[in-house]
Amino acid sequence: EAQVTQNPRYLITVTGKKLTVTCSQNMNHEYMSWYRQDPGLGLRQIYYSMNVEVTDKGDVPEGYKVSRKEKRNFPLILESPSPNQTSLYFCASSLSSGRETQYFGPGTRLLVL
């Protein structure tokens, strides 16, 4: 089954404790992206990747890191989480950027205390 998976789905952590949210797709998609969703703000793009080893900042990259060492995986790293990073995070992928719809993962709900 074609899908985008994220882990964990739910996470409660404390300020400053490094964490990684994994994202994997099995569709051989080139383009992958991370978003955060906050009430009243819609979705905001954090980082995106056009292909392996090619990443770029979205609109809200501060406090996040990403890497794209393999085509299928695009982990999101919070090196020192803060309470303002409490949010619902979505990973998405598409065959390429621009003309293709994006497929979204199930989401990761993060609470930073």
Residues that bind another protein (CB under 8 A): 31, 33, 35, 40-45, 48, 50, 56, 58-59, 90, 92, 97-107
CB of 6 to another protein, least distance (A): 9
User: What 3-state DSSP class applies to 113?
Assistant: coil
CB of 75 to another protein, least distance (A): 18
Judged by CB, which is closer to another protein: 20, or 102?
Answer: 102
Judged by CB, which is closer to another protein: 63, or 107?
Answer: 107
Residue 46 tokens read as: 């954090």
Judged by CB, which is closer to another protein: 9, or 17?
Answer: 9
Burial class of 20 by CB neighbour count within 10 A (0 to 12, 13 to 18, 19+): middle
CB of 80 to another protein, least distance (A): 25
Measure Cα distances from 72 to 18, 29, 37, 85 in Å: 23, 7, 23, 25
User: What 3-state DSSP class applies to 47?
Assistant: strand
Judged by CB, which is closer to another protein: 69, or 99?
Answer: 99
